[in-house]
Structures are given as C-alpha cells and as structure tokens.
Structure 1
Amino acid sequence: HGGRENLDAVAFLQEMNATVYRRAPGVVTIAEESTAWDGVTRATHHTGPGGFGGLGFGLKWNMGWMHDSLSYVQHEPVHRKYHHNEMTFSMVYAYSENYVLPISHDEVVHGKRSLVSKMPGDWWQQRATTRAYLGFMWAHPGKQLLFMGQEFAQGAEWSEAHGPDWWLLDPAYPAEPDHRGVRDLVRDLNTAYRHEPALWQRDTDPAGFTWIAGDAADDNVLAFLRHDADGTPLLAVSHFSPVVRHDYRLGIPESTPAWHEVLNTDATRYGGSDIHNPHPVKPEPHPAHAHPTSLRLTLPPLATIWLRPA
C-alpha cells in the first residue's frame, strides 16, 4: 500500500503462529525482534493502529530494556545517577507487548565482554553488581533469558569453540565459591519466582506494578511493588551503590502489618557481605512516597532485596 511493509512476510508469520498455536497447544513462539513493529505479540485477528493484524507471537525480546539496563550498570556507581532513566524507561512501554528480558548473545561476544566483566570495580564489586542486576531483572515485568555462562559469572566471553567454562565450578578451582555463589543465586531466584505469584501472575497487566521510588537517582535506588491476583504485594529494592544505606525509608501500603525478606543478593552464601534486615520489618506511621506508612530499611551495597508481607 505504498509503505515499506512486506505484506507476504506479515501474512506468513500470522499464518505460522496461528497454525502452531492451534495445532500444538502449550507451545510458545518467541520473536527475537529489534524494531518498533506494532503488534508482534498481538493476536492475529486483532488489528492495530497500522491497519495490520497482530503477528501472533507469544513473546518478544525487549532489546530496549537490555541495551538501557546494561548501559546503566556499566557506569561507575558515582555516575549512575546521571543515567537513572535508563533503568526506569522500560516501564513506559512495558505493557505494549509480551516481553522477554534478554541478555543477548550479541552483547557478550566480539569484544563486548561477558556480563560480569562489564561491571566496574574490583572482582567483589563486579559479582555484587551482577547479583543485584539479576535480582532486578527477575523482579521486573517480563520473562528472563540469560546467555550461557552468565548463570555462574563466567569472566571470559562466550566461545562457540568450547562452550561454557564449567571448570569454574570445579571444587578444586580456588575461585570456585565466587562462581558457585552466583549460580546458587540464580537457582534461588528461580525458586522464589515460582513461589511468588506477584512476580508473574499479572505480568502483562499494568495494575500488577507500582513504583515506590522510581526517581531516587542520587541514591542509585529503584523500588517498586509487584502485585498478585489478590493484590498481595512483593517489594523489590535494588541498590546500585557500593555503600550501606541505613534507615532508608520507603512508603508501603497501610494494610500490611509486617514484612520479611524473601531474597537478598548480598547473602554470604552468594558471596555477599551478609547485611540483612531484621525479621520481621514492621511499618512505621511515617508517610513516604504517597503512602501513609513506611518501612525503615538497611540497604546492602550493590544488592537487590525482595520483601513480602509476613
């Protein structure tokens, strides 16, 4: 119709997805797609603003989230406050498609460095930032996709010639605990994710997400609530500074009597400094962030914590 769209390609993808989902219930098709094409995950019979029906994919890679968030964490902590929007912008469009949060193969090869090697600082800070980033990623709306070796902090780039560096997890290797800590965190993130419906039950519903502190750029803090179908919240707090923040106040809904940590990426078993909050954390009648009550938390350095009502 005078545009750049390939009508045959659109029709082919629509027919492919409609046929796959009709003939094989339970499958998921995922588009590794990096343009702003509207309706990649919209149903094929729903027409969008461009006049085309949806392409019918189940999920689509969120390349914007990947580039923005990786750009943020690669900055030195003192400079991150100038790039805070790179961690919050994804929520502007988070519900325009059904998204996967990918750490793409393209970002960890050809001299771009592995995930843990992208992080600034010494080896401890690199691992801590990686753990905090993974905790943020698992709490963010969308599905999670890691590339091989990222789940145990492989320092070298991926090579198709020999696969992941599994020897890093050999107990005979001196630094094995460092890599085992990240591997154990990924395991526990998956376990906690399964048992916390707030993290997935309303993944494509804007009502399932609420910012608490999306503008704390000077503190390098991002805090938000995820809500399950019954409205039960989970509070995710990511802190990307290498200092401990004591008595950090975050507003929370008034109806929650007490909260406890369900995950802390700074735990000793992950290689962290083991700075925790007491169990339980009780709200105080001190207004903050448009809520009548608030929690007074200790934020570990370069860490993500999850809390839920006790």
Structure 2
Amino acid sequence: MNEAAVVPLWRRLGAHSGADGTVFSVWAPNARAVTVFGDFDEWAAVDHPMCRGADDVWTTVVPGARPGMSYKFRVVGADGIVRDKADPLARAAQCPPETASVIAADSEFVWSDDAWCTARPHRRPAAEPMSIYEVHLGSWRSGLGYREAAVQLADHVAALGFTHVQLMPVTEHPYGGSWGYQVGSYFVCTGRWGTADDFRFFVDHLHSRGVAVLLDWVPAHFPKDPFALGEFDGTPLYEHADPLRREQPDWGTYAFNLGRPEVRDFLIASAVYWCTEFHLDGLRVDAVASMLYLDYSRGDGQWRPNARGTNENDEAVAFLRALNDAVHAACPGALMIAEESTAWPGVTTTTARGGLGFDFKWNLGWMHDLLSFVSRPPSQRAQLQEHVAFSLTHATAERYVLPISHDEVVHGKGTLVTRIPDGCDRAAHVRLTLAYQWAHPGKKLLFMGQEFGQEREWADDRGLDWDRSDAGIMLAAGDLARLHADLPAMHAMDDDARGFDWLDARDTRNTVIGFLRRADEHARTEGRLVACVFNFSDRDLYGYRLGFPVRGVWREVLNTAAVEYGGHGVGNLGQIVAVDEPSHGRPYSATITLPAASAVFFTPVT
C-alpha cells in the first residue's frame, strides 16, 4: 500500500473491470484466507478464492463479474472467525440498509468546469470573501436527488450571495441518523440521493453558478458495524490494537490507528480521491481535537501518555501534516479546514513552519461566547460583553471560520430564533447576531434554515420549514453576504490584525460594541473602511456619540432595523457626519442613532 504516492490507492485496490473480467484486490495481512463472492456466483463463496501477493494484498480475477454487480469478501481471520466484509476500496455500494459493495462502472460524466479548476490554484482564500452555507442534503428539501438539489440549491445560494456550500458527509454510511459521521465506505458516494455521476453533476453545476463545494470528511473514527472496517482480518487492522486507544468513547466507534502507514495511506487516499475525482474545493476535517489528544474524552487510567509523558498524539500530528500536504499537492487550491476546538498552536501554520498545515480552523470559542451572550435577556448581557469582545482581540491568531453549524440547532439547543429569550423581538436579535457574525474577522458558516429564521430544531428525517420562513431575516442574511463580498474592508484582511480596530467595547451600560474593518492598514475610503456598531440592548439609543477616524460624511450601508427587513425603521436617514470633536481617543466623532437590537454599518463617502 506504500505505492499510493505513485499509483492512487483506489486504482490499485478494490474492484476494477476490464476485457477479461473484474480484478479484485484487498489488503488483509493477517487473514488465513480470502474469497470474493457476490451476484456473479449467486453468493456461493466457493468459486473465487483469492491469492496473497506482495504487500499482503489478496487478488483474483473473476471473468463473469461486471459493473453493477454486488460483492463482498469472505475473510477467514487470524482468529479463525469467518467474516463477510465490504470492500474498503469499493467505489460503489448498495444503498443502506444493504451493505454489499458494488463493482463501479467507469464514470461517463463530462465536466464543464475547466475554467473554474484552472483558476482555483491562483485564488487567495484568506483575502477573499467566504460565506459558507452548510447543508444536509437529505433534509434541505425532502425528496431531492443530487441533480435536483444541485439546481435548487444553486439558485438559493446564488440569490443569497453565499460563496460556498459545505455538505455534511456524503461518504456512504450505514446509519442515516449518524448524519454521515459514521462512515462505512470511504470511497463511496452515498446512494441515498443518486449515483457518483449524479454527485459529479451536483459539483459541476454549483461551479457553473460560481459556488464552491466543500465536503465534511471524517478520519477520526469509524463504526463497529460487522461488515465494515473493524477487525477486518481477525485483528485490529484499521483500529488500534491498544485497548486504551482502540475506541472513541464519545461516539461508540473505533479510532483509526494513525501510526500504521497503511492506514494513513488509506485515509489520505480517500481525501485525495474526493478532491480529484469529484472536483471538490476542499474538505472540512471532522473532530480534529479527538485525534490530537491521547486523553480526549478519557478519564484517569483510560489513556497512556506519549514517550515525553504528555497527552499529545504524535501519530495524529504526523498524519494531519501528511494529509494536508498530500491534498495541497494533488489538488492545488483545495482548502483544508479543521474542526478543532482547543488552543492547539499552529493549526493553520504551514507544515514547513512546524504547523499542522490547515488553511482554516473553526473558531468554536467565538461561537459559544456569542450564542451564550445573545441567549441572555438584554438586561443581563453586560456581564458577558467582555467575553464576546475577547474573540475580536484574538481574531487573527489563526485563519478562522466562524461557524453556526448543525451542532448548534439540535439536541435541545433550539435554533437561532428560539435561543433568543421570550419577550424579545426575536427576528431583530437574529438579524443582529448574523450582522455581528458577518462583521467579525474570519470566514462565515451558517447552517441551512438559519438564514430564514427556522424555528423547529433540525432533524435529518424531515425538510426545513420553508413555508414558515421569515422573509426579513433572509433578506438581511443575503445583504450581509453581499456586503461581505462587495466591500473589501469586510474580508481583505481577515487574517491580519491591522485590518481591525476598536471603536468602543467598554460601553456595558448600553451594551454597545463598535469596531472598524479595513481593507489595508491605511484605508480611509469608501468600501475600504467600514464602521460596524452593534446595539445589543432592547432600547433605541439616540444622539449616541462615537469617535471616528475620518472627518465628513459616512454613508449608512446597513441597518438591520430597516423596514424591509421587518424592523421598526429607526435609523440615520442614510448617513452620519463626523465632525471636529474628539471622542474615544479619535480626532473626530459623530452622533448616531442606534436602533434597539440592531446593527448599523457606515463607510466614508469619498
């Protein structure tokens, strides 16, 4: 399996049809015997024993096996137990609840995104707008396949001004209720919504509409289903042999043995496969923290330190660096995004400089602080204002994505709307929350339904409540995404501390936060300098004086209390004027109106 750098692993192993039949190959180093069986022998499992070859790969040719036929491997394990296993390198599979692999036909899809793929390596993602719409395909709109969803989703996302779609896992998974996070087949596109070529159409169509496609990908753990990877050859093969490292207690799954070269090759090949074969624009790597720490979700006596006596998983660090380097080399311009919830240093530092090599990291601390803050009644928010402001002082410690993801709208947490306390204008507070997200340095991610004020918690077995959408929230969300893209100040220096400056973070009496966004260090012109002011109280504030860095007229480019958003219409009549009156340590100031539970953005008129 170490030849993966020369010949892609998915072309060496698995099932490959040709003029003489289908060649089956599977890695099972400790098996006593392996037989392939399926539709071609009426599942007899006696006609096609496999031969052990180099690198402990078992191989045979079945003349009668053709694309579309189902199969499994019957493995006599090192422990003498017979197990029927799906092919780890299958590129097609039966649709769950069936569990057999399927001989994949060669793709017949004709791509039309050459210009997109050619341009991608030359992009500068850290300095470009990125508004990500997170989607679970089965429940965005019920009953849609990949092709139908591609057209409808592209229309919706393009109309909103979002730049990226991030899909929850579409790697084949036996249990739909896992949302794709317990993967059974790492090279198979789930058949729940169509074929692999249907998914290629999905990606190609979104590219034609100017929308990038990211995929959630799960290398930290895998399910214990008997047909899958666990104890594949009668030994812990893909999982750890060490019982203290074999399982992931949070999810009742096995943890990959990232210290085994063949397992690393397998996972890296899967990542490269999805990015190359499906033209994906990047991967969001799930549960990175669970890999990095030996004691993750483990108590005393449940973990063993490394050779230095610490809790860092050196094997995982080496794997993640190799993973990121491999994807970046094979797919220039593809993004690697870490769901990493701790303060591990250098997540988005290049591997050449000792980092993990990701392009972006989810800022989960920002998310928890903000949602905790807006879940409080306005009269109680002052005591948490410092926590919310804290993320702004560390906004460029890594290159961040600011996520309000699927995890925040399930398991009794409510939605953005229902998190807002009773008695408040909930729609106004949701618009305010979204405005704070889009103004804060970092790329943006919003889970489906939150852009229109979905009230019911998300469930994977039903569609969103489109018939009860709040048109004002959706209009505001779209305007925020467009402003984020159109105004260079809102994205060009997301990862540079010079792109941000405070106006005021200390007004806890009024629960007001204000800051500047800049497109360059000396920005003073329209669109390249934006003042963002947030009133988290439930009172309109009139004659509010605030210091400004530029004298003259500032145009109001956003007011989330605008009537068209469903607001009460209080505002600044389209502009304010900064005059020669020092305030907040600045030579100029303006008196402005801050509507209750609202955000106002201004840019200087030049």
Q: Which residue of 2 aligns with 1:50?
A: none
1:231 aligns with 2:523: yes
Question: Does the alignment pair 1:55 with 2:351?
Answer: no
Asked if the contact 2:552–2:579 (Cα under 8 Å) also holds between the matched residues in 1, the reply is no
Larger Rg: 2
The structure where helix makes up a greater share of residues is: 1
Does the alignment pair 1:4 with 2:311? Answer: yes
Q: In the TM superposition, what is the alpha-carbon distance from 1:240 to its structure 2 partner?
A: 0.8
**Aligned-pair CA distance for 1:256:** 3.6
Are 1:118 and 2:425 an aligned pair? Answer: no
Counterparts of 1:76-115 in structure 2, within 5 Å, are: 76-115=377-416
- SS of residue matched to 2:570: coil
- Encode CA deviations 1:9-30: one digit per residue, 9 max, x unaligned: 1111111111211221221111
Match of 1:139 in 2: 439
Q: Which of the numbers 548, 559, 562 marks the counterpart of 1:252? A: 548
Matched-pair contact (CA < 8 Å) for 2:382–2:511: yes
> Which residue of structure 1 lines up, in the alignment, with residue 340 of structure 2?
33
Q: Provide, for residues 181-233 of structure 1, a one-character-per-residue CA deviation record: whole Å limited to 9, x for no partner.
A: 10111111111111110011011111100001111111110000011125132
Residue of structure 2 equivalent to 1:220? 511
- In structure 2, how many angstroms separate the alpha carbons of the residues matched to 1:113 and 1:280? 37
Q: CA deviation at 1:59?
A: 0.7
Contact kept in structure 2, 1:71 and 1:86, CA below 8 Å? no
Which residue identity is paired with 1:303?
Answer: S
- The SS at the match of 1:38 is coil
CA–CA distance in 1 between the matches of 2:314 and 2:552?
56
Secondary structure (helix, strand or coil) at the match of 1:129 reads: helix
Aligned to 1:69: 370
Distance 2:333 2:559 in 1: 33
1:165, distance to aligned residue in structure 2 (A)? 1.4
Q: Distance in 2 between matches of 1:24 and 1:62?
A: 25
What's the offset of the Cα at 1:84? 0.9
Unaligned stretches of 5+ residues in structure 1: 47-52, 170-178
1:160 and 2:452 correspond: no
CA contact (8 A) 2:406 2:447 kept: yes
CA deviation vs aligned residue, 1:141-180 (integer Å, no higher than 9, x gap): 01111112100001110011113212224xxxxxxxxx01
**1:241 matches 2:537:** yes
1:127 corresponds to 2:427:
yes
Supply the distance in 2 between the matched residues of 1:96 and 1:257 (Cα, whole angstroms).
34
| Alignment root-mean-square deviation, CA | 1.3
Q: For 2:311, what is the secondary structure of its paired residue?
A: coil
Where does residue 587 of structure 2 map in the other structure? 292
In the TM superposition, what whole-angstrom CA distance separates every residue of 1:255-286 from its partner, at most 9, and x where no partner exists? 44210111111111111001120343111222
Verify: 1:194 aligned to 2:494, yes or no.
Answer: no
Structure 2 Cα separation of the partners of residues 279 and 106 of structure 1: 38
Task: Give the Cα–Cα distance (whole angstroms) in 2 for the partners of residues 219 and 67 of structure 1.
Answer: 22
Relative to structure 1, is the Cα distance of residues 23 and 256 closer, same or farther in structure 2, using a 3 angstrom cutoff? Answer: farther
1:92: how far off? Answer: 3.0
Identity rate of aligned residues, in percent? 43
Q: Distance in 2 between matches of 1:70 and 1:158?
A: 17
**Which of 269, 278, 297 is equivalent to 2:564?**
269
| Alpha carbons 1:282, 1:295 under 8 Å: kept | yes
**Residue pair 1:75, 1:120 contacting (<8 A) in 2 also:** yes
Aligned residues: 293
AA in 2 matched with 1:163: G
The amino acid of 2:559's aligned partner reads N
Write the distance in 2 (CA, Å) between the matches of 1:92 and 1:285: 28
Q: Which residue of 2 aligns with 1:14?
A: 321
- Which runs of 5 or more residues in structure 2 are unaligned? 1-306
**Structure with bigger RCO (C-alpha 8 Å, 6+ apart):** 1
Please tell me whether the aligned partners of residues 239 and 299 of structure 1 are also in contact (alpha carbons under 8 angstroms): yes
Write the distance in 1 (CA, Å) between the matches of 2:515 and 2:325.
Answer: 36
Where 2:351 maps in the other structure, the secondary structure is coil
Q: Give the conservation status (yes or no) of the 8 Å contact 1:59–1:99.
A: yes
Shift of 1:6: 1.7
CA distance in 2, matches of 1:58, 1:8: 20
| In structure 1, C-alpha distance between the alignment counterparts of 2:574 and 2:444, rounded to whole Å | 29
